[in-house]
Chain A
Amino acid sequence: MRVSASTKINTPVGVVWQIASDPERVLNFMSGMTRWEVASEPSTGLGARYRVLMRIGSAEVGGLIEIVEWRPPFDLAWHSVTGLDQRGRFRLRELSPGSTRAEFRLAYGVAGSGLSGWLAERVAAPSVQRHLGRSISQLSRLAEQEHRRIQAQERRRTVSQA
Protein backbone atom coordinates (compact mmCIF):
# COMPACT_ATOMS: atom_id res chain seq x y z
CA MET A 1 0.00 0.00 0.00
CA ARG A 2 1.34 3.42 -0.88
CA VAL A 3 0.28 6.76 0.60
CA SER A 4 1.71 10.23 0.22
CA ALA A 5 1.21 13.85 1.21
CA SER A 6 2.74 17.00 -0.19
CA THR A 7 2.73 20.73 0.38
CA LYS A 8 4.37 23.96 -0.69
CA ILE A 9 6.65 25.51 1.95
CA ASN A 10 7.66 29.17 1.73
CA THR A 11 11.21 28.42 2.75
CA PRO A 12 14.45 27.64 0.88
CA VAL A 13 14.95 23.95 0.24
CA GLY A 14 18.15 23.88 2.32
CA VAL A 15 16.29 24.88 5.48
CA VAL A 16 13.61 22.23 4.92
CA TRP A 17 16.31 19.61 4.34
CA GLN A 18 18.08 20.51 7.61
CA ILE A 19 14.95 19.70 9.59
CA ALA A 20 13.72 16.69 7.61
CA SER A 21 17.11 14.97 7.68
CA ASP A 22 17.92 15.58 11.37
CA PRO A 23 17.03 12.48 13.45
CA GLU A 24 16.87 14.64 16.57
CA ARG A 25 14.12 16.79 15.09
CA VAL A 26 12.00 14.15 13.40
CA LEU A 27 9.73 13.65 16.41
CA ASN A 28 9.05 17.41 16.39
CA PHE A 29 7.03 17.12 13.20
CA MET A 30 6.20 13.47 12.50
CA SER A 31 2.60 12.81 13.53
CA GLY A 32 1.86 9.43 15.14
CA MET A 33 5.55 8.61 15.45
CA THR A 34 6.29 7.30 18.95
CA ARG A 35 9.94 6.40 18.45
CA TRP A 36 12.74 7.51 16.12
CA GLU A 37 15.96 6.32 17.71
CA VAL A 38 19.42 6.38 16.21
CA ALA A 39 20.75 2.82 15.99
CA SER A 40 24.00 3.32 14.12
CA GLU A 41 27.15 5.39 13.74
CA PRO A 42 27.15 7.86 12.05
CA SER A 43 23.65 9.02 12.87
CA THR A 44 22.91 10.53 9.44
CA GLY A 45 23.76 9.83 5.84
CA LEU A 46 23.72 6.73 3.69
CA GLY A 47 23.54 3.57 5.80
CA ALA A 48 22.33 5.28 8.96
CA ARG A 49 19.82 3.16 10.86
CA TYR A 50 16.95 4.13 13.09
CA ARG A 51 14.47 2.25 15.22
CA VAL A 52 11.08 3.73 14.38
CA LEU A 53 7.54 3.12 15.58
CA MET A 54 4.27 4.68 14.44
CA ARG A 55 0.95 4.24 16.24
CA ILE A 56 -1.60 2.80 13.84
CA GLY A 57 -4.79 1.49 15.36
CA SER A 58 -4.10 -0.80 18.30
CA ALA A 59 -0.39 -1.18 17.77
CA GLU A 60 2.82 0.74 17.42
CA VAL A 61 4.29 -0.67 14.25
CA GLY A 62 7.62 -0.18 12.61
CA GLY A 63 11.04 -1.64 13.16
CA LEU A 64 14.61 -0.96 12.10
CA ILE A 65 15.03 1.17 8.96
CA GLU A 66 18.11 2.10 6.96
CA ILE A 67 18.79 5.19 4.84
CA VAL A 68 19.31 3.95 1.29
CA GLU A 69 19.23 7.26 -0.52
CA TRP A 70 20.86 10.46 0.72
CA ARG A 71 21.05 13.31 -1.77
CA PRO A 72 21.09 16.65 0.07
CA PRO A 73 19.07 18.80 -0.11
CA PHE A 74 16.63 16.92 -2.34
CA ASP A 75 16.07 13.24 -1.55
CA LEU A 76 16.13 11.13 1.55
CA ALA A 77 14.78 7.56 1.34
CA TRP A 78 14.78 4.53 3.61
CA HIS A 79 13.66 0.93 3.62
CA SER A 80 12.97 -1.50 6.43
CA VAL A 81 15.53 -3.93 7.77
CA THR A 82 13.26 -5.62 10.34
CA GLY A 83 9.62 -5.30 11.33
CA LEU A 84 6.92 -3.96 9.05
CA ASP A 85 7.96 -3.91 5.38
CA GLN A 86 8.19 -0.25 4.48
CA ARG A 87 9.82 2.20 2.10
CA GLY A 88 9.71 5.89 2.85
CA ARG A 89 10.89 9.04 1.14
CA PHE A 90 11.19 12.75 1.67
CA ARG A 91 11.33 14.42 -1.73
CA LEU A 92 12.16 18.15 -1.77
CA ARG A 93 12.17 20.25 -4.93
CA GLU A 94 12.93 23.97 -5.20
CA LEU A 95 10.03 25.85 -6.77
CA SER A 96 11.83 29.19 -6.49
CA PRO A 97 14.75 30.50 -4.34
CA GLY A 98 12.47 30.90 -1.30
CA SER A 99 9.94 28.17 -1.94
CA THR A 100 10.02 24.36 -1.74
CA ARG A 101 7.66 21.57 -2.73
CA ALA A 102 7.92 18.86 -0.04
CA GLU A 103 6.49 15.39 -0.48
CA PHE A 104 6.38 12.57 2.08
CA ARG A 105 5.79 9.07 0.67
CA LEU A 106 5.31 5.80 2.50
CA ALA A 107 4.80 2.32 1.05
CA TYR A 108 4.10 -0.48 3.54
CA GLY A 109 2.85 -4.02 3.76
CA VAL A 110 3.32 -7.45 5.29
CA ALA A 111 4.59 -9.95 2.77
CA GLY A 112 2.99 -13.38 2.89
CA SER A 113 0.00 -12.42 4.99
CA GLY A 114 -2.60 -13.04 2.28
CA LEU A 115 -6.11 -11.64 2.47
CA SER A 116 -5.79 -10.40 6.04
CA GLY A 117 -2.70 -8.40 5.08
CA TRP A 118 -4.43 -6.93 2.05
CA LEU A 119 -7.40 -5.94 4.19
CA ALA A 120 -5.27 -4.58 7.06
CA GLU A 121 -3.28 -2.39 4.65
CA ARG A 122 -6.47 -0.82 3.37
CA VAL A 123 -8.08 -0.40 6.77
CA ALA A 124 -4.89 1.27 8.04
CA ALA A 125 -4.48 3.53 5.01
CA PRO A 126 -6.73 6.42 6.16
CA SER A 127 -4.94 6.56 9.50
CA VAL A 128 -1.50 6.48 7.87
CA GLN A 129 -2.60 9.11 5.36
CA ARG A 130 -3.72 11.37 8.20
CA HIS A 131 -0.35 10.97 9.91
CA LEU A 132 1.50 11.84 6.70
CA GLY A 133 -0.72 14.88 6.07
CA ARG A 134 -0.17 16.20 9.61
CA SER A 135 3.55 15.46 9.41
CA ILE A 136 4.05 17.43 6.22
CA SER A 137 2.00 20.35 7.63
CA GLN A 138 4.04 20.36 10.81
CA LEU A 139 7.28 20.19 8.80
CA SER A 140 6.06 23.19 6.83
CA ARG A 141 5.35 25.19 10.00
CA LEU A 142 8.70 24.27 11.57
CA ALA A 143 10.61 25.10 8.40
CA GLU A 144 8.93 28.48 7.97
CA GLN A 145 9.56 29.32 11.64
CA GLU A 146 13.19 28.28 11.26
CA HIS A 147 13.53 30.41 8.13
CA ARG A 148 12.10 33.46 9.90
CA ARG A 149 14.49 32.89 12.82
CA ILE A 150 17.46 32.71 10.42
CA GLN A 151 16.31 35.84 8.64
CA ALA A 152 15.96 37.71 11.97
CA GLN A 153 19.48 36.58 12.94
CA GLU A 154 20.82 37.87 9.62
CA ARG A 155 19.13 41.23 10.11
CA ARG A 156 20.59 41.58 13.64
CA ARG A 157 24.06 40.73 12.32
CA THR A 158 23.72 43.30 9.55
CA VAL A 159 22.54 45.99 11.99
CA SER A 160 25.32 45.27 14.49
CA GLN A 161 27.96 45.39 11.75
CA ALA A 162 26.56 48.67 10.53
Chain B
Amino acid sequence: MPQVEITQAGRHNGQVRKEASPPPPHSGGPLSRLRSVAEAVGAQVKMRIPRADLDERDPDFIRERLPLLWLAATVWYRGEVRGLGNIPDDGPVLLVGNHSGGNMMPDTLVLVLAFNAYFGAERAFYQLAHNLVLSMPWLSDLRRFGTVAASPENARKALEAGAALLVYPGGDHEVHRPTSQSNRIDFDDRKGFIRLALDQDVPLVPVVAIGGQETALFLSRGEWLARLLRLDRMFRLKVLPISLSLPWILNVGDMLGHIPLPAKITVEVLPPIHLREQFGEDPDDDEVYDHVTGLMQDTLDALAGERRLPIVG
Protein backbone atom coordinates (compact mmCIF):
# COMPACT_ATOMS: atom_id res chain seq x y z
CA MET B 1 0.00 0.00 0.00
CA PRO B 2 1.52 3.36 -0.95
CA GLN B 3 2.49 5.53 2.01
CA VAL B 4 0.75 8.91 2.18
CA GLU B 5 2.49 11.40 4.36
CA ILE B 6 -0.01 13.40 6.40
CA THR B 7 1.47 16.70 7.49
CA GLN B 8 0.22 18.89 10.35
CA ALA B 9 -1.11 21.37 7.81
CA GLY B 10 -3.09 18.57 6.24
CA ARG B 11 -5.17 17.90 9.31
CA HIS B 12 -8.23 19.89 10.21
CA ASN B 13 -10.86 18.95 12.77
CA GLY B 14 -9.58 15.39 12.60
CA GLN B 15 -10.35 15.29 8.90
CA VAL B 16 -7.33 14.41 6.80
CA ARG B 17 -6.78 16.46 3.73
CA LYS B 18 -4.00 15.95 1.22
CA GLU B 19 -1.74 18.90 0.51
CA ALA B 20 -3.10 20.99 -2.36
CA SER B 21 -1.23 20.62 -5.66
CA PRO B 22 1.17 23.50 -6.28
CA PRO B 23 -0.34 26.14 -8.61
CA PRO B 24 1.02 26.42 -12.17
CA PRO B 25 3.94 28.84 -12.47
CA HIS B 26 3.16 32.38 -13.60
CA SER B 27 5.12 34.35 -16.18
CA GLY B 28 6.29 37.02 -13.68
CA GLY B 29 5.51 40.68 -12.95
CA PRO B 30 3.71 42.23 -9.96
CA LEU B 31 0.24 41.07 -11.01
CA SER B 32 1.43 37.49 -11.41
CA ARG B 33 3.18 37.60 -8.06
CA LEU B 34 -0.02 38.94 -6.48
CA ARG B 35 -1.95 36.08 -8.08
CA SER B 36 0.56 33.58 -6.75
CA VAL B 37 0.19 34.93 -3.25
CA ALA B 38 -3.58 34.90 -3.57
CA GLU B 39 -3.54 31.30 -4.83
CA ALA B 40 -1.35 30.20 -1.94
CA VAL B 41 -3.66 31.92 0.55
CA GLY B 42 -6.62 30.37 -1.23
CA ALA B 43 -5.17 26.91 -0.82
CA GLN B 44 -4.67 27.51 2.88
CA VAL B 45 -8.19 28.86 3.25
CA LYS B 46 -9.71 25.84 1.52
CA MET B 47 -7.93 23.56 3.98
CA ARG B 48 -9.39 25.49 6.88
CA ILE B 49 -13.03 25.29 5.78
CA PRO B 50 -14.73 23.03 8.29
CA ARG B 51 -17.25 20.43 7.31
CA ALA B 52 -20.68 21.43 8.53
CA ASP B 53 -21.42 19.92 11.90
CA LEU B 54 -24.82 20.97 13.09
CA ASP B 55 -23.96 19.72 16.57
CA GLU B 56 -21.37 22.47 16.97
CA ARG B 57 -24.21 24.84 17.74
CA ASP B 58 -24.12 25.41 21.49
CA PRO B 59 -27.28 26.83 23.14
CA ASP B 60 -25.49 27.51 26.44
CA PHE B 61 -22.80 29.49 24.62
CA ILE B 62 -25.45 31.42 22.71
CA ARG B 63 -27.39 32.21 25.87
CA GLU B 64 -24.25 33.52 27.59
CA ARG B 65 -23.38 35.69 24.60
CA LEU B 66 -26.86 37.16 24.17
CA PRO B 67 -26.22 40.05 26.61
CA LEU B 68 -23.23 41.14 24.50
CA LEU B 69 -25.31 40.94 21.33
CA TRP B 70 -28.09 42.83 23.11
CA LEU B 71 -25.70 45.63 24.09
CA ALA B 72 -24.42 45.94 20.52
CA ALA B 73 -27.88 45.77 18.96
CA THR B 74 -29.54 48.11 21.46
CA VAL B 75 -26.87 50.67 22.30
CA TRP B 76 -24.92 50.82 19.02
CA TYR B 77 -27.47 49.97 16.36
CA ARG B 78 -30.72 50.93 18.19
CA GLY B 79 -32.00 47.80 16.53
CA GLU B 80 -35.70 47.26 16.00
CA VAL B 81 -37.16 43.93 14.90
CA ARG B 82 -40.81 43.63 13.94
CA GLY B 83 -42.95 40.69 13.05
CA LEU B 84 -41.13 37.83 14.78
CA GLY B 85 -44.55 36.36 15.46
CA ASN B 86 -44.76 35.64 11.70
CA ILE B 87 -42.15 32.91 12.08
CA PRO B 88 -43.87 29.59 12.86
CA ASP B 89 -43.31 28.65 16.51
CA ASP B 90 -41.64 25.37 15.66
CA GLY B 91 -40.57 23.16 12.82
CA PRO B 92 -38.28 23.86 9.89
CA VAL B 93 -38.56 27.24 8.23
CA LEU B 94 -36.46 29.03 5.62
CA LEU B 95 -35.77 32.66 6.45
CA VAL B 96 -34.71 34.57 3.32
CA GLY B 97 -33.07 37.90 3.98
CA ASN B 98 -31.48 40.83 2.18
CA HIS B 99 -27.89 41.25 3.30
CA SER B 100 -26.17 44.51 4.19
CA GLY B 101 -23.27 46.03 6.03
CA GLY B 102 -20.22 44.36 4.54
CA ASN B 103 -18.41 41.71 6.56
CA MET B 104 -19.63 43.16 9.89
CA MET B 105 -23.20 42.05 9.06
CA PRO B 106 -25.12 44.26 11.52
CA ASP B 107 -28.45 43.00 10.19
CA THR B 108 -27.51 39.42 11.03
CA LEU B 109 -26.38 40.41 14.52
CA VAL B 110 -29.69 42.13 15.26
CA LEU B 111 -31.77 39.29 13.81
CA VAL B 112 -29.83 36.51 15.56
CA LEU B 113 -30.23 38.31 18.90
CA ALA B 114 -33.94 38.87 18.36
CA PHE B 115 -34.58 35.30 17.21
CA ASN B 116 -32.73 33.65 20.10
CA ALA B 117 -34.30 35.98 22.67
CA TYR B 118 -37.79 35.44 21.27
CA PHE B 119 -37.75 31.66 20.70
CA GLY B 120 -35.04 30.74 23.18
CA ALA B 121 -31.54 29.50 22.43
CA GLU B 122 -32.91 25.97 22.63
CA ARG B 123 -34.63 26.32 19.26
CA ALA B 124 -32.27 25.16 16.52
CA PHE B 125 -31.38 28.09 14.28
CA TYR B 126 -28.66 27.97 11.64
CA GLN B 127 -27.24 30.59 9.33
CA LEU B 128 -25.45 29.97 6.03
CA ALA B 129 -22.26 31.93 5.49
CA HIS B 130 -19.56 32.20 2.85
CA ASN B 131 -16.71 29.70 3.26
CA LEU B 132 -14.25 32.53 3.85
CA VAL B 133 -16.16 33.72 6.91
CA LEU B 134 -15.84 30.33 8.58
CA SER B 135 -12.18 29.99 7.67
CA MET B 136 -11.17 33.07 9.68
CA PRO B 137 -9.71 31.83 12.98
CA TRP B 138 -11.00 34.86 14.89
CA LEU B 139 -14.55 34.01 13.77
CA SER B 140 -14.49 30.38 14.91
CA ASP B 141 -17.13 31.12 17.56
CA LEU B 142 -19.66 31.67 14.78
CA ARG B 143 -19.96 27.90 14.43
CA ARG B 144 -21.16 27.75 18.02
CA PHE B 145 -23.86 30.23 17.06
CA GLY B 146 -25.01 27.85 14.34
CA THR B 147 -23.22 29.36 11.32
CA VAL B 148 -22.40 26.78 8.66
CA ALA B 149 -20.75 27.04 5.26
CA ALA B 150 -23.21 27.94 2.52
CA SER B 151 -23.92 24.91 0.39
CA PRO B 152 -27.06 23.07 -0.75
CA GLU B 153 -26.05 20.03 1.31
CA ASN B 154 -25.68 22.00 4.54
CA ALA B 155 -28.94 23.80 3.94
CA ARG B 156 -30.75 20.50 3.41
CA LYS B 157 -29.20 18.99 6.54
CA ALA B 158 -30.31 21.92 8.68
CA LEU B 159 -33.91 21.88 7.43
CA GLU B 160 -34.14 18.08 7.66
CA ALA B 161 -33.10 18.44 11.28
CA GLY B 162 -36.21 20.60 11.82
CA ALA B 163 -34.30 23.83 12.27
CA ALA B 164 -34.93 27.39 11.23
CA LEU B 165 -32.40 28.35 8.56
CA LEU B 166 -31.36 31.86 7.57
CA VAL B 167 -30.06 32.35 4.04
CA TYR B 168 -28.98 35.42 2.14
CA PRO B 169 -29.38 34.65 -1.58
CA GLY B 170 -27.68 37.91 -2.51
CA GLY B 171 -24.60 36.88 -0.52
CA ASP B 172 -21.36 38.72 -1.19
CA HIS B 173 -22.90 40.42 -4.25
CA GLU B 174 -25.55 42.14 -2.13
CA VAL B 175 -23.73 42.70 1.16
CA HIS B 176 -20.99 44.74 -0.51
CA ARG B 177 -23.22 46.76 -2.85
CA PRO B 178 -22.52 50.48 -2.99
CA THR B 179 -24.22 52.65 -0.36
CA SER B 180 -25.95 54.45 -3.24
CA GLN B 181 -27.86 51.19 -3.83
CA SER B 182 -28.81 50.77 -0.14
CA ASN B 183 -32.50 50.49 -0.71
CA ARG B 184 -32.41 47.82 -3.36
CA ILE B 185 -33.07 44.09 -3.02
CA ASP B 186 -30.42 42.45 -5.18
CA PHE B 187 -30.23 38.66 -5.17
CA ASP B 188 -28.32 38.67 -8.46
CA ASP B 189 -30.90 36.29 -9.92
CA ARG B 190 -29.91 33.52 -7.49
CA LYS B 191 -32.90 31.21 -7.11
CA GLY B 192 -31.50 28.28 -5.19
CA PHE B 193 -33.51 29.24 -2.12
CA ILE B 194 -36.74 28.56 -4.02
CA ARG B 195 -35.73 25.01 -4.96
CA LEU B 196 -34.59 24.47 -1.39
CA ALA B 197 -37.95 25.54 0.06
CA LEU B 198 -39.81 23.35 -2.44
CA ASP B 199 -37.61 20.28 -2.07
CA GLN B 200 -37.80 20.42 1.72
CA ASP B 201 -41.45 21.55 1.68
CA VAL B 202 -40.90 24.28 4.24
CA PRO B 203 -42.47 27.73 4.55
CA LEU B 204 -40.43 30.63 3.24
CA VAL B 205 -40.31 33.71 5.46
CA PRO B 206 -38.90 36.91 3.90
CA VAL B 207 -36.85 39.08 6.25
CA VAL B 208 -36.12 42.66 5.21
CA ALA B 209 -33.50 44.81 6.91
CA ILE B 210 -32.41 48.39 6.41
CA GLY B 211 -29.53 50.43 7.76
CA GLY B 212 -26.62 48.08 7.15
CA GLN B 213 -25.29 49.94 4.10
CA GLU B 214 -25.11 53.14 6.17
CA THR B 215 -22.54 51.66 8.58
CA ALA B 216 -19.74 52.61 6.16
CA LEU B 217 -19.45 54.28 2.79
CA PHE B 218 -19.44 51.32 0.41
CA LEU B 219 -18.04 52.51 -2.90
CA SER B 220 -17.81 49.50 -5.15
CA ARG B 221 -18.15 45.74 -5.17
CA GLY B 222 -14.79 45.59 -6.90
CA GLU B 223 -15.95 42.84 -9.25
CA TRP B 224 -13.37 43.86 -11.84
CA LEU B 225 -10.63 43.55 -9.19
CA ALA B 226 -11.87 40.13 -8.11
CA ARG B 227 -11.83 38.94 -11.72
CA LEU B 228 -8.37 40.34 -12.26
CA LEU B 229 -7.04 38.44 -9.23
CA ARG B 230 -9.05 35.31 -10.10
CA LEU B 231 -10.67 35.30 -6.67
CA ASP B 232 -13.78 33.57 -8.00
CA ARG B 233 -11.72 30.49 -8.82
CA MET B 234 -9.71 30.47 -5.61
CA PHE B 235 -12.22 31.57 -3.01
CA ARG B 236 -15.58 31.49 -4.77
CA LEU B 237 -15.48 35.28 -4.38
CA LYS B 238 -16.85 37.44 -7.15
CA VAL B 239 -16.22 40.70 -5.31
CA LEU B 240 -13.33 42.53 -3.68
CA PRO B 241 -15.21 45.44 -2.12
CA ILE B 242 -13.86 48.93 -1.76
CA SER B 243 -15.20 51.18 0.98
CA LEU B 244 -14.36 54.12 3.22
CA SER B 245 -14.55 52.89 6.78
CA LEU B 246 -12.88 53.15 10.14
CA PRO B 247 -10.12 52.63 11.10
CA TRP B 248 -8.61 51.84 7.66
CA ILE B 249 -10.13 54.82 5.84
CA LEU B 250 -9.68 53.08 2.47
CA ASN B 251 -10.75 49.48 3.01
CA VAL B 252 -10.15 47.01 0.18
CA GLY B 253 -11.62 43.54 0.66
CA ASP B 254 -12.94 44.13 4.20
CA MET B 255 -11.14 40.93 5.25
CA LEU B 256 -10.27 42.37 8.65
CA GLY B 257 -13.67 43.97 9.08
CA HIS B 258 -14.13 47.57 10.13
CA ILE B 259 -15.68 49.69 12.87
CA PRO B 260 -19.27 50.13 11.72
CA LEU B 261 -21.02 53.46 12.15
CA PRO B 262 -23.95 53.38 14.62
CA ALA B 263 -26.66 53.33 11.95
CA LYS B 264 -30.14 52.39 13.10
CA ILE B 265 -30.95 48.86 11.97
CA THR B 266 -34.59 47.98 11.41
CA VAL B 267 -35.66 44.46 10.51
CA GLU B 268 -39.12 43.43 9.42
CA VAL B 269 -40.20 39.80 9.25
CA LEU B 270 -42.98 39.17 6.74
CA PRO B 271 -45.71 36.51 6.86
CA PRO B 272 -44.67 33.04 5.72
CA ILE B 273 -45.15 31.99 2.10
CA HIS B 274 -46.24 28.42 1.48
CA LEU B 275 -45.02 28.05 -2.07
CA ARG B 276 -47.14 25.13 -3.27
CA GLU B 277 -50.30 26.59 -1.71
CA GLN B 278 -49.71 29.90 -3.39
CA PHE B 279 -48.12 28.90 -6.71
CA GLY B 280 -49.38 25.38 -7.39
CA GLU B 281 -47.78 21.97 -7.23
CA ASP B 282 -45.00 22.82 -9.67
CA PRO B 283 -44.21 26.51 -9.22
CA ASP B 284 -42.25 28.44 -11.79
CA ASP B 285 -38.99 29.61 -10.20
CA ASP B 286 -39.02 32.94 -12.05
CA GLU B 287 -42.55 33.70 -10.91
CA VAL B 288 -41.74 32.89 -7.29
CA TYR B 289 -38.49 34.86 -7.46
CA ASP B 290 -40.27 37.93 -8.83
CA HIS B 291 -42.97 37.63 -6.18
CA VAL B 292 -40.59 37.26 -3.24
CA THR B 293 -38.18 39.97 -4.34
CA GLY B 294 -41.08 42.27 -5.22
CA LEU B 295 -42.59 41.79 -1.78
CA MET B 296 -39.26 42.44 -0.12
CA GLN B 297 -38.60 45.50 -2.27
CA ASP B 298 -41.98 46.99 -1.34
CA THR B 299 -41.20 46.44 2.33
CA LEU B 300 -37.74 47.93 1.97
CA ASP B 301 -39.22 50.98 0.25
CA ALA B 302 -41.64 51.41 3.16
CA LEU B 303 -38.83 51.08 5.70
CA ALA B 304 -36.78 53.61 3.73
CA GLY B 305 -39.75 55.97 3.80
CA GLU B 306 -39.72 55.87 7.61
CA ARG B 307 -36.10 57.00 7.84
CA ARG B 308 -35.54 60.69 8.27
CA LEU B 309 -31.75 60.76 7.95
CA PRO B 310 -29.03 58.24 7.07
CA ILE B 311 -27.46 56.58 10.11
CA VAL B 312 -29.86 58.41 12.48
CA GLY B 313 -32.80 56.47 11.16
B114 with A113: CB separation less than 8 A = no
Which residues of A have CB within 8 Å of B5? none
- B-contacting residues of A (Cβ < 8 Å)? 53, 57-63, 82-84, 110-114, 116-117, 119-121, 123-124
A57 with B67: CB separation less than 8 A = no
Tell me the bound Cα distance from A57 to B264 in angstroms. 13
Q: B56 interface residue, CB < 8 Å from A?
A: no
B66: nearest chain-A partner, CB-CB: A110
Which residues of A have CB within 8 Å of B77? 58
> A58 is contacted by which of B63, B64, B73 (Cβ under 8 Å)?
B73
A116 with B68: CB separation less than 8 A = yes
B79: nearest chain-A partner, CB-CB: A58
Which residues of B have CB within 8 Å of A84? 117
- Taking A57-B70, A83-B117, A113-B67 as known contacts, 17 extra A-B pairs with beta carbons closer than 8 A to each other, sorted by chain A number, are A57-B79, A58-B79, A59-B73, A59-B74, A59-B81, A60-B117, A61-B70, A63-B120, A83-B120, A116-B65, A116-B71, A117-B67, A120-B67, A120-B71, A123-B74, A123-B75, A124-B70
Question: Which label, helix, strand, loop or mixed, suits the secondary structure of the B interface?
Answer: helix
B120 with A58: CB separation less than 8 A = no
A58 with B66: CB separation less than 8 A = no
Tell me the bound Cα distance from A125 to B168 in angstroms. 35
Which residues of B have CB within 8 Å of A113? 63-68
Interface residues of B in 256-289 (CB under 8 A from A): none
Which residues of B have CB within 8 Å of A60? 84, 114, 117-118
Output the least CB separation between B180 and chain A (Å): 27
B67 with A59: CB separation less than 8 A = no
Question: Which label, helix, strand, loop or mixed, suits the secondary structure of the A interface?
Answer: mixed
Tell me the bound Cα distance from A42 to B158 in angstroms. 36
B80 with A58: CB separation less than 8 A = yes
Q: B113 interface residue, CB < 8 Å from A?
A: yes
Which residues of A have CB within 8 Å of B117? 59-62, 83-84
Tell me the bound Cα distance from A62 to B77 in angstroms. 21
**Residues A58 and B68 in contact in the complex (CB < 8 Å), given A83-B120, A110-B63, A112-B60:** no
A57 with B73: CB separation less than 8 A = yes
Contacts A/B (CB < 8 Å), 15 sampled: A53-B118, A57-B75, A57-B79, A58-B73, A59-B73, A59-B74, A83-B120, A110-B63, A110-B66, A110-B67, A113-B64, A116-B71, A119-B67, A120-B71, A123-B74
B76: nearest chain-A partner, CB-CB: A58
Q: B130 interface residue, CB < 8 Å from A?
A: no
Output the least CB separation between B140 and chain A (Å): 19
Q: B122 interface residue, CB < 8 Å from A?
A: yes
Q: B230 interface residue, CB < 8 Å from A?
A: no
A85: nearest chain-B partner, CB-CB: B63
For B110, B117, B120, B122, which residue has the most chain A Cβ atoms within 10 angstroms?
Answer: B117
A58 with B67: CB separation less than 8 A = no
Output the least CB separation between A65 and chain B (Å): 12
Tell me the bound Cα distance from A60 to B114 in angstroms. 7
**Residues A116 and B67 in contact in the complex (CB < 8 Å), given A59-B73, A123-B75:** yes
B64 with A110: CB separation less than 8 A = yes
Output the least CB separation between B74 and chain A (Å): 3
Output the least CB separation between B90 and chain A (Å): 12
Q: B78 interface residue, CB < 8 Å from A?
A: yes
A109: nearest chain-B partner, CB-CB: B67
Output the least CB separation between B68 and chain A (Å): 4
Tell me the bound Cα distance from A144 to B64 in angstroms. 42
